[in-house]
Homo-oligomer: A and B are copies of this chain.
Amino acid sequence: MYKIAVDLQGADNAPELLADGVVRALADSSDLCVYLCGDKTRTEKIFKGKSVDKKRLVIVDAPETVVNGEDPVAAFETKKNSSLAVGMKLCKTEGVGAFVTCGSTGAIFVTAMMTLEKIGNPVLLAELRKADGSPFCIADCGANVDCRPDRLVHFARMGNAYMKTLGVESPRIALLSNGAEDGKGNTLTKKANALLKDSGLNFIGNCEGTDILTGTADVIACEGFSGNILLKTIEGSVKAVLGEGLAMFDKLSDDVRRDDIHRVFKRLYNQYDYTALGGAVLLGFKAPIIKGHGAATAETVYHIIKNAYALVRNDLIRKIEAEFSV
């Protein structure tokens, strides 16, 4: 049985609106057990009428919620029974393999630092899809700004372990830069480029913003500032161009098959919607933390639980440990 702790509190949508994601994920995998951390009475009420295998849905009382905008450290100090704190404690004490939440990033980060055992340093990783549908990841995409060069090698290793859980045998690592040649970059990436060459990783050199969705890299290594810009620019650009395209098509005359067109746009939109896919994954702890965005829906929750399940099943933590024992 693979155990995943799930926190439906702290998102924009109420737990009532998110619960069906849990139901669907449980129905998909008979060896998945969800530890649902939330106000017990409310949670029992939510799941009462739903068709789930009750043995695989453990409701764990966590009556407090850390809300968005709350000071993360103060929240950790005062709300010992928050769904965040309770969920992470389960990862430490109950052999729960991963934690899924749509709570606020700062609070997640602080609670993890205070609660979980570390492996390496924290890295926020995002899994996306390339134009050909194959997965790749960006590491780091926002947890670390102002890094030293060796941290980029660390991010590359985390990405390497992550991609291995997706079945990529020898992930190709690229370093995000402003030019493909080795000599291109800022002081940080020039040094990191040299370190990556000596890292033993399958380092394929620098990559540029133009190469990300159509290139060959499985892992884009970068410090969190530019990684965040990369991630959000992909998201923003895809949404902008699809939004416009759809508006243009809607103006075309009726004999264009609207349904087909909408289906194509929907599929394109979904392909690049990383938050709906696997969410962002916080690594660097003994259990991966999968974070859906604040505006998560039941669909998002379904996908991020599925991702958490796959990471546990494919032994991400052991792969990370192997990466760092080299």
Please list the residues of chain A having a beta carbon within 8 angstroms of any beta carbon in chain B: 130-131, 142, 145-146, 176-179, 185-187, 189, 208-214, 224-226, 228-245, 248-249, 252-253, 255-257, 260-261, 264-265, 267-268, 271-272
Query: Which of the residues B142, B185, B268 comes within 8 Å of A248, measured between beta carbons?
Result: B268
**Are B257 and A232 in contact, CB atoms less than 8 angstroms apart?**
no
Using Cβ atoms and an 8 Å threshold, which residues of chain B touch A257? 252-253, 255-256
Given contacts A209-B232, A257-B252, contact A145 B186 (CB under 8 A): yes
| A131 near B244: Cβ-Cβ < 8 Å | yes
| A131 / chain B contacts, CB cutoff of 8 Å | 240-241, 243-244
- The distance in angstroms between the C-alpha atoms of A264 and B248, with both chains bound, is 7
Select A268's contact among B231, B241, B264, beta carbons within 8 Å.
B241
Residues of B with C-beta under 8 A to A187: 145-146
Set of chain B residues within 8 Å of A272, measured between Cβ atoms: 237, 241
Check if B229 sits within 8 Å of A176, measured CB to CB. yes
Residue in B185, B237, B271 whose beta carbon sits within 8 Å of that of A238 in the complex: B237
* Chain B residue nearest in CB terms to A234: B237
A229 nearest CB neighbor, chain B only:
B209
Whether the pair A235, B210 counts as a contact (CB closer than 8 A) is yes
Chain B hits for A130, CB < 8 A: 240
A190 to B185, CA, bound (A): 22
Q: With a CB–CB cut-off of 8 A, which chain B residues contact A189? A: 225
**Contact residue among B230, B239, B241 (Cβ-Cβ distance under 8 Å from A233):** B230
Query: Shortest Cβ distance from A103 into chain B, in angstroms?
Result: 17
Task: Give the complex CA separation of A214 and B239 in angstroms.
Answer: 9
User: Within 8 Å CB of A264, what residues of B?
Assistant: 245, 248-249, 252
Q: Is there an interface contact between B210 and A236, defined as CB atoms closer than 8 Å?
A: yes
- Closest residue on chain B to residue A178 by CB atoms: B228
A209 touches B235 (CB 8 A): yes
Given the interface contacts A209-B228, A212-B236, A225-B185, does A142 sit within 8 Å of B252 by beta carbon?
no
**Is the CB–CB distance between A265 and B245 below 8 Å?**
yes
The residue of chain B having its C-beta at the shortest distance from the C-beta of A210 within the complex is B236
Q: Which B residues are in CB contact (< 8 Å) with A235?
A: 209-210
- Are A244 and B260 closer than 8 Å at their CB atoms? no
Once bound together, how far apart are the Cα atoms of A257 and B252, in whole Å? 10
Q: Are A209 and B236 in contact (CB under 8 A)?
A: yes
Cβ 8 A contact of A178, one of B224, B234, B237? B224
Q: Is the CB of B268 within 8 A of A244?
A: yes
A245 and chain B: residue at smallest CB distance: B268
In the A-B complex, the 3 residue pairs with the closest CB atoms: A209-B232, A209-B233, A178-B228
Residue in chain B with minimal CB distance to A130: B240
User: Across the interface, which residues of B come within 8 angstroms of A240, CB to CB?
Assistant: 130-131, 213-214
30 A-B pairs within 8 Å (CB atoms) are namely A131-B240, A131-B241, A131-B244, A142-B178, A145-B178, A145-B187, A178-B224, A178-B228, A186-B225, A189-B225, A209-B229, A210-B235, A210-B236, A212-B236, A213-B236, A213-B237, A213-B241, A214-B236, A214-B239, A230-B233, A233-B237, A237-B238, A238-B238, A238-B241, A241-B241, A241-B272, A244-B268, A245-B245, A248-B268, A252-B257
